Amino acid sequence: MPTRRRLLLAAPAVLAGCVQPATGPQGQPDPHAAHHGLFERLNQPGRTGLPAQAAVQHVFDSPAPRAARPGRWAARAALPLPRSEMAWAVALQGRLHLVGGYGEQRVDRPYHHAYDPATDRWSPRAPLPLGANHVGVAAEGDTLYAVGGFIEQNRKPHAECFAWSARDDRWRRIAPLPQPCGATACVMAGGVLHVIGGAVGDTFETKRSVDWHLVYDAGGDRWRRAAPLPTARDHTGTVAANGLIHVIGGRVDSFHTNSNLHHSYDPRSDQWTMRHPLPTARSGHGAVLVGGRIFVMGGEGTNRVFGQNEAYDIAQDGWQHYAPMPTPRHGLGAAAIGDTIHVAGGGPVMGGGVQSAVHEAFTVPATAAG
């Protein structure tokens, strides 16, 4: 059986059908040349290239069967500045929105950037009232919700929640969470906001995953509890599809104990059901619904940053792997606009020490998008 570990320097074979990296001596991929100036360290100002340890940590192979049409990736306009640990992104009115995260040597940024695929440009929007990382986000109509987050590096959560209006580019406070939490899964299902799992703890020693499941009553501006997640975890990939909520992967307390669990929740019965597990256990990944498939890309583990792009066929309850991301990242922002999945920012090496401005887009093959 071929090894699942592939060095970045072996990327051409893995990335067949994808955008190709710049080449160095003897035609070998040169990641430093490919993305020079798109990265920045948390402890040192100034742009840099892809860190050397990426060559050891980046992996691309998946144990899932390969899709007949793997799709293609292409570079898009880079973020205005390197960012990571936003936790997630959201599509709203045909634009990609990224909120909060690490950037410019701080972990409590209130940044809010929006990307317009029609012009291939990023533009600033009203910043978060409270800067934080690992902010949960979801959107409905012309409203973007921002839920909780950490005010220190992946720890010390807060309970504040906000709603942003696309009409007047303004945030307003909504009812806070019953308890502070970060790295939650936020998703709209049937016009209702669900907040699932997450992590609590003010120090790395006390930080732990939770199984909380909260539902927001917009009319009454209050939260109620629903059936808890069967296994407590955070940094999951979560989407709504066909009336169900899918919670995929994530970590149990730490990325050293990543999970491949995949559960779906039915709001009508308030019950959870086990689904076919994620082929590559990971956390800090993106999860995006296109057509009848949930695409899961990126993420991290112990000394690993994943490029895998695995898709779950909802009707078949099975997985295939598609063309992996050319630049593996975790703590990224991923969302679909039409049949194109945009993945922006994120950390190219394990942990939060390096941020990126990389923005790559995956065009879902017609057979998968239909």
Q: What percent of the chain has pLDDT over 70?
A: 90
* Residue pLDDT, tens place only, 280-323: 999 999 999 999 999 999 999 999 999 999 999 999 999 999 99
pTM of the model: 0.91
Average pLDDT, the chain: 91
- pLDDT over 90 (residue 14): no
Closest by CA to 188, choosing from 218, 158, 164, 160, is: 218
User: Is the distance from CB of 270 to CB of 222 less than 8 angstroms?
Assistant: no
Cβ atoms of residues 180 and 148 within 8 Å:
yes
- The C-alpha atoms of residue 155 and residue 202 are separated, in whole angstroms, by 5
Instruction: For the chain, give percent helix, strand, coil, nearest 5.
Output: 5, 45, 50
How far is 30 from 254, CA to CA, in rounded Å? Answer: 32
Question: Where does the pLDDT of residue 368 fall: very low under 50, low under 70, confident under 90, or very high at 90 and above?
Answer: confident
Q: What is the pLDDT of residue 5?
A: 38
| Residue 94 DSSP one-character state | T
Categorize the per-residue pLDDT at 369 as very low, low, confident or very high, splitting at 50, 70 and 90: confident
What pLDDT sits at residue 370? Answer: 67
Beta carbons within 10 angstroms of residue 366's beta carbon: 11
Q: How many residues does the chain have?
A: 370
Q: Is the pLDDT of residue 140 over 50?
A: yes
Q: How confident is the model at residue 24 (pLDDT cuts 50, 70, 90)?
A: very low
What pLDDT does residue 87 have?
A: 78
Residue 230 pLDDT: 98
The average pLDDT across 207-221 equals 97
pLDDT tens column, 38-61: 999 999 999 999 999 999 999 999
d(CA 345, CA 111): 13
Distance between alpha carbon 272 and the CA centroid of its chain, in Å? 22
Q: List the structure tokens of 136.
A: 């949960």
3-state secondary structure of 34: helix
Q: Both tokens of residue 338? A: 């039409």
Q: Which domains does the chain have, with CATH numbers?
A: 8-369 (2.120.10.80)
pLDDT at 210: 98
pLDDT value for 367: 77
User: CA 337, CA 90: separation in Å to the nearest integer?
Assistant: 10
